[in-house]
Structure 1
């Protein structure tokens, strides 16, 4: 038995870098890193990843330095995904790559910014952060001499696109997002199947991270109290356990001790349920696992039920708290105003973006122009969007 694989060897259904389906643009392999390690490294070194430092998770960046951002959230998801993958004998590097990339397509100001941009883009094909992530990974990152995007492996792209499950068949009247629909014609990501198990791990690591860390941030922001979250079925037993063992523990330590134990409880539950499913289906390869009728990585029915009151509480007391609503209302107006101005007056865009719009026919094609404007806005950090808004709408601001 090794430290890397507690069961002694990689699981047969793990994605094997030696049997990758490769990259869209063929490249020589690295003598020192596996293909999935290179995927992870390219994501970490990308401009889109660095921008996550100043993109909203729940609180806009200027509300405090301690709150989670998209960057710290992504790092926390990656840590949880690696830990789970190691225990299950999976490919940690691929799980980490998917976890680090899963939020790259988010706009400034979190879901409020996405909602505003999607409303603006409704006549032009809409906007979704998952589809924007694919645009970044395959088109918008322009760092390499031989290709646009990061030229990630098939397994990494498939994992990012399908980390929440199969995308086909579509409900009647719906169609695939714009970028994915086009990319699917070039490289089939098998959208009718489940993703690889590493992507499934990354998806639920995301749930574990935001459920627990949003409690931490909400408590620190004073949106609710420890006594209030202690009424929830998932949180209450842990709070009582900590209080019984450490009477009179100071509030900050009580919060941290509760959060870390909740993360452990959720990971332990996920591992037990995932092992039950794997034992029941016994997939012999990554391809067999993708073809199964259900995901292999899951929480138990009891844990899924216990999470519902927690999510309802956070939705009411945090995501829809009037203080958060006020900030998000302002943020939506910023995104909408920027979009409308750039569409009406594309000559106010930076020169590079004007040139790209012209090269793509956007001088006359409003759909092309809108997509470029959406790319520009979606790539902004919170503080850049606010600064750009000031430069364009404050008569006293320097341009």
Structure 2
């Protein structure tokens, strides 16, 4: 029983390339399944969040993170009467565009691509699902529905806005080229909010990484439980566990406390959304899109507490000395591979040479070649990027 403001699969705006309907699955279920079966999704197994893939088996990868985000998105969407399949599809696709080595790799590629239109992982995800996946006979990409493409593009909010923000531009001319190309084919209404389902996927992403970065940082020894007990929300969760289970084994104590932190975030989002939906009473998905800001979000008090937790993680984890050393090493690898392939494109695999030839024959051969090289390097896993750097550039780094 979906609410009036949920995305209804039988009212979808369809696909760029028309297809017959499935007998057993809705369009949003088919989108979800195509994402799961894509090559880019499989590669998430060996792409990392913070730690490089070889550093340990227990740290989250992009794949395990994505599965956690999808689980949270389904829970929130179901509770709010939204379309769980669409929320899950957007959640499963939201990190497809991330390059190797997490945000470090993204920063390096963005700098390298500055002369050629920049790099943005959300835009790259759209490029993957509309062009780079080449498995179907009738089209490039996955031919996802408009609603799923919209969710990938706009799950963090409107892309074109005068309000500022890390994910926005003020003019369509400033769009990342990968996003501009998709939007030119099919207007994604980048000035508006995304559907409530896509907003759920974005908040589920926040819940998941706030939770698992605390787990991973503890496991890496970058901070201790005592450090966390100085932080809002977390200190109350540890206190509750200590009261209920005095003398609990340290690993169980950690897990019990942090799962309560997770629960606090999810319950807060649901409570805020229920109150706002009741108050604003949207009657369609377009009512959601045209609202003055997102309807799915944390409460103001929890948002402020999460800012304190993120600030702690930034200092203690993302900028920890051991992490910075590794960031410097993998940045050097990206900075070595990218120009090498630009100068010697014959080193790209045989199945990339058609794209190389088209780029070289284009009106802007240097830019188009850089974009081909970007697609290749951004698609690498951590282990493959390391392997190729050692093979082609420096075996000793």
TM-score, with length taken from structure 2: 0.95
Corresponding residue of 2:141: 149
- How far has the Cα of 1:168 moved from its partner? 1.6
Does 2:19 match 1:19?
A: no
1:247 aligns with 2:246: yes
Look up the match of 1:224. Answer: 223
Q: Which ranges of structure 1 fall in alignment gaps of 5 or more residues?
A: 1-8
| Aligned-partner Cα distance in 2 for 1:236–1:216 | 15
1:368 and 2:360 matched: no
Are 1:377 and 2:369 an aligned pair? no
The answer to whether the aligner puts 1:89 opposite 2:81 as a matched pair is: yes
Q: Which runs of 5+ in 2 are unaligned?
A: 162-168
Q: Which residue number in structure 2 is paired with residue 6 of structure 1?
A: none
**8 Å Cα contact 2:337-2:393 kept in structure 1:** no
- Distance in structure 2 (CA, Å) of the matches to 1:353 and 1:359: 10
The yes-or-no answer on 1:134 pairing with 2:126 is yes
Alpha-carbon offset, residue 354 of structure 1? 2.6
Note the alpha carbon deviations across 1:330-372, whole angstroms, 9 max, x for none.
1111011000111111122222223311123368710010000
**Deviation sequence 1:230-251 (CA, Å, 0-9, x none):** 1001210111111111111111
1:272-325 superposed Cα distances (whole Å, 9 cap, x missing partner):
111111112100011111111121101111111111110000000000001111
Structure 1 Cα separation of the partners of residues 173 and 228 of structure 2: 39
Total equivalences in the alignment:
388
Question: Secondary structure of 1:223's partner?
Answer: coil
Give the superposed CA RMSD: 1.4
Q: CA deviation at 1:37?
A: 0.3
Partner of 2:41: 49
Match of 2:164 in 1: none
Deviating above 4 A after TM superposition, structure 1's stretches of 4 or more consecutive aligned residues are none
**In structure 1, what is the equivalent of residue 388 of structure 2?**
388
After superposition, residues 1-399 of structure 1 pair within 5 angstroms as 9-169=1-161, 170-171=169-170, 175-361=174-360, 365-394=365-394
Asked whether the equivalents of residues 40 and 97 of structure 1 are also in contact (C-alpha less than 8 Å), the reply is: yes
Partner of 1:4: none
By how many angstroms is 1:172 displaced?
Answer: 6.7
- Separation of aligned partners in 2, 1:38 and 1:138: 15
State the TM-score, normalized to the length of structure 1. 0.95
Output the CA distance in 1 between the equivalents of 2:171 and 2:27: 38
Alpha-carbon distance between aligned partners in 2 of 1:236 and 1:161, rounded to the nearest angstrom: 36
